[in-house]
């Protein structure tokens, strides 16, 4: 089911989706950003830290929701703060985020947005 179909099927949940997006779970086998998506993103971030300690490059291909979870984890920022920033200036689908591992913490060092 597409997001549009999901929203049309469950209009009674519109306020929850809008006001508490990070906690909303789609009916059925969905997962919330704050729990399932963030847990998988945390596992990836831990693996990325391990790989970067051995001077490897880490590349992640993901979709918007997981990008929000990863940014929250890597930048040590609360989900609602990252979501608020995304509402103001959503990253395009093709963005490349550069992070460095310094003293055990990720630091965002740049963003590349390909030309339209």
pLDDT at 90: 80
Cβ atoms within 10 A of the Cβ of 13, count?
Answer: 15
Q: Determine the Cα–Cα distance for residues 44 and 69; give it in Å rounded to an integer.
A: 11
Domain locations in the chain as residue ranges: 31-112
Rounded to whole angstroms, the Cα distance separating 3 from 93 reads: 16
Cα separations in angstroms, 65 against 24, 37, 83, 95: 12, 8, 10, 14
DSSP state of 110: E
**Model-wide pTM > 0.75:** no
Q: Are 102 and 113 in contact (CB under 8 A)?
A: no
Q: Mean pLDDT across the chain, nearest whole number?
A: 76
* 102 compared with 116, residue with greater pLDDT: 102
Spatial CB neighbours of 62, under 8 Å, sequence gap ≥ 6: 70
Q: Which residues pair with 101 in a beta bridge?
A: 106
Q: How many other CB atoms are there within 10 angstroms of residue 79's CB atom? A: 20
- What pLDDT does residue 81 have? 93
pLDDT tens readout for residues 30-71: 777 777 778 877 877 777 777 666 655 666 667 778 888 888
């Amino acid at each position: 089911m597409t997001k549009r179909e999901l929203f049309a099927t469950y209009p009674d949940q519109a306020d929850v989706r809008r006001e508490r997006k990070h906690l909303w779970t789609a009916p059925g086998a969905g997962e919330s950003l704050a729990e399932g998506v963030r847990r998988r993103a945390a596992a990836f971030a831990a693996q990325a830290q391990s790989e970067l300690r051995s001077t490897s490059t880490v590349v992640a291909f993901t979709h918007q929701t997981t990008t929000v979870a990863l940014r929250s984890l890597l930048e040590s920022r609360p989900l609602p703060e990252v979501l608020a920033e995304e509402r103001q200036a959503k990253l395009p689908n093709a963005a490349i985020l550069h992070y460095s591992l310094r003293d055990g913490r990720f630091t965002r060092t740049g963003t590349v947005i390909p030309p339209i």
